Amino acid sequence: MPILKIPSPLRSYTDGQVDVRVDGQNVGEALDSLVEKFPPLRPHLFNGDGKLRPFVNLFVDSQNVKDLDGLATPLADDTRVLLVPSIAGG
Amino acid sequence: MVVPLLPGLTRNEILRYSRHLLIPEVGLEGQRRLKGASALVIGVGGLGSPVALYLAAAGIGRIGLVDYDVVDASNLQRQVIHGTGTVGQRKVESARAKLVDLNPEVQVDVYDEAYTSQNAMRITEGYDVILDGTDNFPTRYLANDVAVFLGKPNVYASIYRFDGQVSVFDAGRGPCYRCLFPEPPPPGLVPSCAEGGVLGVLPGTIGTIQATEALKVLLGIGEPLIGRLLLYDALDMSVEFVKLKKNPKCRVCGPQADITELIDYEEFCGVPGHDHDTGSAGAGLDITAGELAGRLIGNGLVLLDVREPHELEISRIPNAINIPLGSLAARLAELDSARDIVVFCKSGTRSTRALELLAGAGFKKVKNLRGGINAWARAVDTSLPLY
């Protein structure tokens, strides 16, 4: 099962979990699995049309999935996906 | 970076910078390079504190400090350039005094104003590198666009709770901030440190990495974080790097860029260019602490506290029910839309979002406690602490 690493701004929506094991053969399915487990996360990741919000970046093997196959980027078992939102604190 | 005429070092400076001069990658020429260099620090807060201190200690010849704010007691848990004795002073003046004491060889120029589309080009054009340590999205997009338009490297860092991000955005050599984040989050979706908190030492860790990158850029040594984003997690104590590429569709640095001059960044982001809580949900939607105290004498009013449970240990209003904002959507059934509801949080930002959520769910008799429980603590129950 792929693992999604949740950044601290979103951990209040995953019961504080950092590494969440999800189902899915690709990034899109992994995200669907994530928001199925934690429905309050959905509006933080997807806009009203179901598209990934532009300020959310996902990295697989240190590559932005936008530079790979987007949500269709395949995931092997135990692949770690980094979720990187924009934060503005200083 | 081309520095045509490097200034010499005095005997005092040679002694002061002795540990730099011993490093072959810096040496006498590198130190002269730093003396001839200038850096603009945008925001003299959590990140700006270690950044400015270490850049001054390192002997950057001219340091610019931009901040419009005054030192507040709640800053001191992390903003180590300020002190108890400078609470209430202008931040740039408090910082300048510390820097001049640390290194009188350095010229410190202060800009006691908000960094805006009107003044940003004028302030920035005379500096070699900018360090973005601001606390809000509009100023981050502004700093990025200024850096792209002026062709200057933007050493970027941001923090939240236990997480930090650092990169060097230099559109001439790699991606810019907009390549990574084409659009800001919708207003209210990503909490600020003022709302969500930040571990006090985090800006120390991240700010010193930011200062390191600026020194590398100015010295022309090592591998700056161009095209790479450093992700730091203090809880895991993990550091990860991801690769960043130029976005061919980038609106400011891409080949078809359509943003060619500074815009209205507060409008673009839908939020103000600071992280202070306004505490107001808007005209007709607020109730003041004093008005609420009067209303509580009667009854039938529901007080809804949307803070996190651990915040109730700091302060609370009797008989308020607690439903944290994050779980409000799932717990609407616990509220009666026929009754008058007053929503509050720490200072009015989360309660404003709760009001929007409730309005969207058909609640019509809802008000926001302007300024939150902190306003209540100031005006009504002065036994409560402010936080």
3-state SS, residue B109: strand
Complex ipTM: 0.94
Q: Which two tokens stand for residue B133?
A: 């340590």
* Pair B91, B210 in one domain: yes
* Pair B96, B213 in one domain: yes
Closest CA to B159 of B124, B205, B91, B211: B205
Contact assessment for residue A41 and residue A23, using Cβ atoms and an 8 Å cutoff:
no
Q: Which two tokens stand for residue B327?
A: 């779980």
* Pair B219, B317 in one domain: no
Residue B74 covered by a domain: yes
Residue B20 covered by a domain: no
Indicate if B179 belongs to the active site. no
Please tell me the distance from the alpha carbon of residue B55 to that of residue B209, in angstroms, as a whole number: 11
Contacts of B131 in chain A (CB under 8 A): none
Query: How far off is chain B from A73, nearest CA to CA, in Å?
Result: 16
What digits encode the pLDDT tens for the residues B23-42? 999 999 999 999 999 999 99
Closest CA to B103 of B53, B49, B30: B53
Residue B29 covered by a domain: no
Residue B220 covered by a domain: yes
Q: What is the pLDDT of residue B276?
A: 72
Closest CA to B170 of B213, B123, B206, B208: B213
Q: Of B269, B297, B321, at which residue does a domain stop?
A: B269
Please tell me the distance from the alpha carbon of residue B292 to that of residue B239, in angstroms, as a whole number: 48
Q: What is the pLDDT of residue B4?
A: 62
Please tell me the distance from the alpha carbon of residue B62 to that of residue B216, in angstroms, as a whole number: 16
Q: Does A51 touch chain B (CB under 8 A)?
A: no
Average pLDDT over residues B360-383: 95
Q: Reply yes or no on whether the pLDDT at B60 is more than 60.
A: yes
Q: Of B269, B302, B320, at which residue does a domain stop?
A: B269
B residues 99..158 contacting A (CB < 8 A):
132-137, 140, 157-158
Please tell me the distance from the alpha carbon of residue B124 to that of residue B198, in angstroms, as a whole number: 28
* Pair B251, B322 in one domain: no
Buried b (16+ CB within 10 A) or exposed e, B144-154: bbbbbbeebbb
CB contact under 8 A, B184 and A86: yes
Which residue on chain A is closest to B41 by alpha carbon? A90
Which residue on chain B is closest to A68 by alpha carbon? B245
Please tell me the distance from the alpha carbon of residue B62 to that of residue A59, in angstroms, as a whole number: 38
Indicate if B345 belongs to the active site. yes
B183: nearest CB among A18, A43, A54: A54
Residue B2 covered by a domain: no
What digits encode the pLDDT tens for the residues B230-253? 999 999 899 999 999 999 999 999
* Pair B169, B54 in one domain: yes
Average pLDDT over residues B348-355: 92
| Radius of gyration, alpha carbons of chain B | 23
Rounded to 10 deg, the angle between the B202-219 and B27-35 helix axes is 110
Contacts of A88 in chain B (CB under 8 A): 134-137, 140, 158, 160, 190, 192, 275
* Pair B127, B229 in one domain: yes
CATH code of the domain containing B177: 3.40.50.720
- Chain A to chain B, count of Cβ pairs less than 8 Å apart? 111
Average pLDDT over residues B344-367: 93
Determine phi and psi for B198, rounding to 5 degrees: -155, 140
Please tell me the distance from the alpha carbon of residue A42 to that of residue A47, in angstroms, as a whole number: 8
Average pLDDT over residues B260-268: 95
Average pLDDT over residues B113-132: 98
Q: Reply yes or no on whether the pLDDT at A50 is more than 90.
A: no
What pTM value is reported for the model?
0.90
A87: nearest CB among B163, B247, B330: B163
* Pair B136, B207 in one domain: yes
Query: How far off is chain A from B229, nearest CA to CA, in Å?
Result: 10
* Pair B257, B329 in one domain: no
What domains can be seen in chain A, in order of their start residue?
A: 3-85 (3.10.20.30)
Average pLDDT over residues B16-21: 98
Would the CA dihedral through B318, B321, B322, B325 be positive or negative?
Answer: negative
Count of the separate structural domains present in chain B:
2
Q: Reply yes or no on whether the pLDDT at A56 is more than 70.
A: yes
CB contact under 8 A, A87 and B244: no
Determine phi and psi for B267, rounding to 5 degrees: -70, -45
Residue B46 covered by a domain: yes
Strand spans (E) along B149-275: 154-160, 163-169, 228-233, 238-243
Q: Does B331 touch chain A (CB under 8 A)?
A: no
Strand spans (E) along chain B: 38-42, 62-66, 107-111, 129-132, 154-160, 163-169, 228-233, 238-243, 286-287, 301-305, 321-322, 340-344, 366-369
Residue B23 covered by a domain: no
Q: Does A70 touch chain B (CB under 8 A)?
A: no
Rounded to 10 deg, the angle between the B202-219 and B48-58 helix axes is 40
* Pair B321, B372 in one domain: yes
3-state SS, residue B58: helix
Please tell me the distance from the alpha carbon of residue A59 to that of residue A57, in angstroms, as a whole number: 7
* Pair B243, B348 in one domain: no
What digits encode the pLDDT tens for the residues B108-118? 999 999 999 99
Contact assessment for residue B138 and residue B89, using Cβ atoms and an 8 Å cutoff:
no
Q: Of B207, B234, B269, at which residue does a domain stop?
A: B269
Mutate to test the interface with A, among B134, B178, B229 (most CBs of A within 10 A): B229
Contacts of A81 in chain B (CB under 8 A): none
B residues 201..260 contacting A (CB < 8 A):
203, 229, 231, 233, 235-236, 240-245, 247
Average pLDDT over residues B49-78: 98
* Pair B226, B292 in one domain: no
CATH code of the domain containing B310: 3.40.250.10
Confidence of residue B277 (pLDDT cuts 50, 70, 90): low
Please give the DSSP secondary-structure letter assigned to residue A79.
-
Which residues constitute the domain of residue B181? 37-269
Residue B64 covered by a domain: yes
Which residue on chain A is closest to B275 by alpha carbon? A89
* Pair B98, B124 in one domain: yes
